Amino acid sequence: MRTQNTKYLGRTGKTQNPKISPDIFKAYDIRGVYPKEINEETVYKIAQAYAKFLNFPKRVALGKDVRLSSPSLWRAAAKGLTDCGVNVVDIGTGSTDMYYFATANYNLDGGMMISASHNDKEYNGIKMVRENSIPISGDTGIYDIKKLVLEGFSYSVDKKGKVEKIDILNDYINKIISFVEPNKIKKFRIIANTNFGMAGKVLEKIAIYVPTDIIKLNFDPDGNFPKGKPDPLIAENRKEMSQMVVDKNADFGVVWDADADRCFFIDRKGRFMEGSYVLAILAKIMLAKNPGAKVIADPRIVGPTKKATEKAGGKLILSKAGHSFIKERMRKEDAVYAGENSGHYFFRDFFYCDNGMIPLLLIMEYLSESDKDLADLNDYYIKNFSVSGEINLPIGKDTSRIFKKLKEEYPDGEQNLMDGLSITYSDWRFNLRASNTESLVRLNVEASSQKILEEKKDELLCAIKEN
């Protein structure tokens, strides 16, 4: 027998009706400060609404990251699902890409991941997918789930769902190793910075198949994130690692965010490699393995990937940034690979999902087969593609005025509104877009020379700040 209520009955039996902020429902996932904005009662309600949205699926993957609040929130989500009669597949503590893998590989009906990605330690949240790890985003269900939650939806059945725990690590390792030929990869000496997240456990397992001299940095999982926000895009966070790569005479360094679905590289000279450069290198690698295939990229920085794709005989397609948009376009185009300048790299043969370990393996294989190292590749891209890196500017939620102003100030450039505002000239280009998660605009500039880049970057920053 099923019963539908508008209140959640907690363990005490007393009626609970916590006030839930609508602001925790973001474009790609759900995030908030624990326990003020997101807590056990909130997560229970979200899990119930998720079950309703998917028409009460039979089996759903449920994972969690290393945050201190994740075990408690995981239990709340599991109860919300099982109270609805949904069976929970407990995949344990792991990375976001492991949760994508589990949902798709084991033909589950959906998946939820308790995680706040690279946010500060006081945050937590939920990522959600349907079958085949198809994302649930603002355009494809998050706001429907939000409506159910805010209306007080709850649901209960007499026959509760069960919790089944599985160990997915070996199957996951076999999947990502399949992207390379391990016997072709030489032994590299690398600095591995996991930002106190879950990448280390996976990397140690990979090293069994691909012998690697791993020098560990911030390697043990720690939900306190003792060195601050676990986001590799913050330049200050990379200083320790850059110095360590040089001091230890490493071939290169690799760094992940806390949930390990993004990776970045430091060359042997201690220099950060821009995400747009890595995106282009991986496009070249994937097109060598899949001649004539399609590649998808976001429009923030396009020059390096455009050149690499054309040279390799592939077809580049631009898509709005955001994993849900990228994945949808990949499926539509049957693209073999996609990348975002923010460090997300997607693979058709990984269920059209992003993965933070496959790029490392592909680059190790590529370097093993060539006479170059990562610093040589970085030199080439720095010399030929001047890029600003992403510049985040606080500007509030109303960005229409600044977009209007820039369109008027650069009327003779080729304008595109696919994702924010892109304006292209023969020797330089910029993209300005509003953040989907914060009150910021994000500016990226690229040019044919460093001189032009600095000139145009300063020009744009003045125009934006004067708005």
Q: Choosing from 70, 117, 137, 154, which is the catalytic residue?
A: 117
The one-letter code for the residue type at 34 is Y
Q: Let me know: does 298 contact 319? Beta carbons within 8 Å.
A: yes
Element housing 216 (H / E) = strand 212-217
Q: Decide: 350 and 358 in contact? Cβ < 8 Å.
A: yes
Instruction: Respond yes or no: is residue 117 known to be catalytic.
Output: yes
Reported as half-sphere exposure (CB side, CA atoms, 13 A), residue 448 has a value of 5
Q: Do residues 254 and 212 lie in contact, with contact meaning Cβ atoms separated by under 8 Å? A: no
Distance of alpha carbon 308 from alpha carbon 301, whole angstroms: 13
Strand 263-267 relative to strand 252-256, pairing: antiparallel
Structure tokens at 47: 């899990």
Residues 6+ apart with CB under 8 A from 374: 251, 252, 265, 267, 268, 273, 363, 367
Number of C-beta neighbours around residue 408 at 10 A: 8
Please report the DSSP string for 406-441 in residue order. Answer: HHHHSTTSEEE-SSSEEEE-SSEEEEEEE-SSSSEE
Q: Residue 346: helix, strand or coil by DSSP?
A: strand
Distance of alpha carbon 284 from alpha carbon 305, whole angstroms: 8
> Residues near 42 by Cβ (< 8 Å), separated by ≥ 6?
18, 20, 24, 32, 149
User: In the β-sheet with 294-297, what is the strand arrangement from edge to edge?
Assistant: 315-318, 294-297, 337-339, 345-347, 353-354
**Which residues, 6+ apart, have CB-to-CB distance to 61 below 8 Å?**
89, 91, 99, 102, 103, 106, 108, 110, 111, 112
Distance set, CA 308 to CA 280, 385, 417, 435 (Å): 6, 12, 24, 28
- Chain centroid to Cα 368, Å, comes to 27
What is the DSSP code (8-state) at residue 185? Answer: P
Query: What single-letter DSSP state applies at residue 257?
Result: -
3-state SS, residue 320: coil
H runs (alpha helix) in 20-124: 40-53, 70-83, 96-105
Which positions are catalytic?
117
